[in-house]
Structure 1
């Protein structure tokens, strides 16, 4: 057994029996690992992790609200650059070929449901080695950037896997869905037609999406996750987990002293923050 200082972990799993089974197995395989929180959904996992700053997060891929990948992305966006290093991530997933291929090519680990003791023991050993290596070699900001790069890769693979003809979207001759051109927005007893070309940006708002044009704001009952595949990815850029902006509506991107980017738009006083995950979109020529 490697000598490690006290280590902490968070388990995010919406199925109580599976969560307890994982906790018990970890207790047997790694008695010194302190499970500081058990979260039942993605947002709770994010809130608890930001509060407790665990060394390791075990995240179920499919949870109510935020998925495991989305919860990890939210952590990467909100994790402070100074202080405790970004947690090591282990995704817990049912068999999914895309997931296995993605995780094999990223420096995170995964375990399959139902969790097998032998496989979990391998994961624990990898985690111990990673904890020792990061204590000896890398400062916290470098670890955070490494995690952001890996998550960007995983999220990109996830988007490709999930994309497909969305409801109400026609298919092009190549078989790909045609980008959405018109939003049908309910305003009382009226259906208002809003050309997508007039939208400055979309912003997630609970179970709705705020649609902002130069002169108006609309609410549509759809999640940003459902809307995103229907948009033209060349014209609409995701810049935060909750914001998608029309690229040609951006006037300038301003970087502050900490390296954070803020977008200023044509025809609007609104400003939009760019998260760490999407900052590489903006590079001067």
Structure 2
């Protein structure tokens, strides 16, 4: 039986290499026959190699992942790789396209691999994507939601209004989220996941399932075996960075 084949399309080299490494562990029998840096190259390489699976980043220069998927159609199993839940959940709910959320986690990738293997083993054709891709394209064209600029945090019996650019980090703490800023710390009821969706990804990053850090507050990153930790400017604590998020600091 010949090996299953795949195309990876991701414009960030570090993320592309990381996904390739994770796939090698999760699916040793998969042969990655091509890697694309943008949507147009993804379509060209697909036509050249005709892989059975295409992993497509939603946001790529030139043709985006949705446009590339439209060009590929039902000739391959499509897996979107995205940082945006609203696109991924819409596709997955329809059962037409699988998805991986960035940063890709081993457990979630294993589930996707199992579904892909079952589909390929059964010889079933990929479902029609046209309707789903139309909905995703429409959503992709919607203006982005406004970013969070202030956080209302409880400090004892007082409610403080904190500008987000003063926040050092946020950390899940049971039913609450701890907000640590330049002048102190407080708690809010908003979850880490909700905050991650509302904060500007250019300035804030998840470093763990339960923590978000202001990148401007990061003084240094220390590599560990598989993960690491960061030191913040003017603060004694070190914050652990889990394996899934280490790629954010690879260039430090």
- Where on the TM-score scale, by shorter chain, does this alignment land: which range? 0.5 to 0.7
The answer on whether the counterparts of 2:66 and 2:137 sit within 8 Å (CA) in structure 1 is: no
CA contact (8 A) 1:60 1:67 kept: yes
Instruction: Give the drift of 1:75.
Output: 1.9
- State the partner residue of 2:109: 120
Aligned residues of 2:91 and 2:97 also touching (Cα < 8 A): no
SS at match of 1:8: strand
- 1:158 aligned residue: 136
Name the structure 2 match of 1:87: 76
Match of 1:28 in 2: 25
Contact 2:94 2:132 in 1 (8 A): no
Instruction: Report the counterpart of residue 40 of structure 1 in structure 2.
Output: 37
Residue 72 of structure 2 aligns to a residue whose secondary structure is: helix
With 97-106 and 123-132 compared, the bigger mean Cα shift is at 97-106
Q: Structure 1 residues 27, 101: closer, same or farther in 2, change over 3 A? A: same
Structure 1 residues 95 and 164: CA distance shift in structure 2, 3 A: closer
Q: Where do 5+ consecutive residues of structure 1 fail to align?
A: 77-84, 166-285
Deviations 1:51-99 (A, max 9, x none): 10111110000000111110011123xxxxxxxx811111100033243
- 1:130-209 correspondence to structure 2 within 5 Å: 130-134=119-123, 138=124, 143=125, 147=127, 149=128, 151-162=129-140
Count of aligned pairs between the two proteins: 143
**Runs (4+) off by over 4 Å:** 162-165
Task: Give structure 2 stretches of 5+ with no counterpart.
Answer: 144-252
Q: Could you say if the C-alpha distance between residues 40 and 98 of structure 1 is closer, same or farther in structure 2, counting changes exceeding 3 Å?
A: closer
Structure having the higher strand fraction is 2
Shift in Å at residue 163 of structure 1? 5.2
| Aligned partner (choices 1, 14, 39) of residue 17 of structure 1 | 14
C-alpha spacing 1:164/1:125, structure 2 compared with 1 (3 Å): closer
Q: C-alpha root-mean-square deviation of aligned residues, in Å?
A: 1.9
Question: For residues 11-62 of structure 1, what are the alpha-carbon distances to aligned partners after superposition, in whole Å with 9 as ceiling and x for unaligned?
Answer: 0000000000000000011111111111000010000011101111100000
SS at match of 2:75: coil
State the TM-score, normalizing by the size of structure 1: 0.47
Alignment of 1:97 onto 2:97? no
Does residue 109 of the first structure (1) align with residue 98 of the second (2)?
A: yes
